[in-house]
């Protein structure tokens, strides 16, 4: 999923994170094998389960400063909503 979102949106890096059931931290992630060491911008949206609990996070990263705008935010939120069913 991360690769499909990255390629379709032209984003340099996309990460999908699973959040622990008590929401105290990230317990797993999916993305490329290594994160960019030059990350200068990041935008994150919660992925909610059927009860409204934060079950995951979707993040876009870039090595460019101020890389994300309103269109990116809308895309991120739409993608986060689209992957919600994977959290049951």
The position carrying tokens 């959290």 is: 87
Read off the pLDDT band of 33 (50, 70, 90).
very low
Residue 55, classified by CB atoms within 10 Å of its CB into exposed (0-12), middle (13-18) or buried (19+), is buried
Task: Report, as an integer, the average pLDDT of 34-44.
Answer: 76
Domain boundaries, the chain: 2-87
Question: Per-residue pLDDT tens for 44-64?
Answer: 999 998 888 898 999 999 889
The model's pTM is 0.82
What percentage of residues in the chain have a pLDDT greater than 70?
85
Residues 46, 50, 51: CA angle, nearest 5 degrees:
85
**Is the CATH number 3.30.450.40 carried by domain 2-87?**
yes
Residues 11, 13, 15: CA angle, nearest 5 degrees:
120
Question: Per-residue pLDDT tens for 61-80?
Answer: 988 999 999 999 999 999 99
Terminal CA-CA length for the chain? 16
């Amino acid at each position: 999923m991360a690769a499909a979102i990255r390629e379709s949106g032209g984003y340099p890096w996309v990460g999908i994170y699973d959040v622990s059931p008590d929401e105290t931290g990230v317990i797993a992630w999916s993305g490329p094998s290594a994160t960019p060491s030059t990350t200068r911008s990041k935008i994150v949206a919660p992925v909610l389960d059927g009860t409204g609990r934060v079950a995951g996070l979707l993040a876009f990263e870039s090595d460019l400063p101020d890389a994300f705008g309103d269109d990116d935010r809308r895309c991120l939120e739409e993608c986060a909503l689209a992957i919600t069913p994977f959290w049951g």
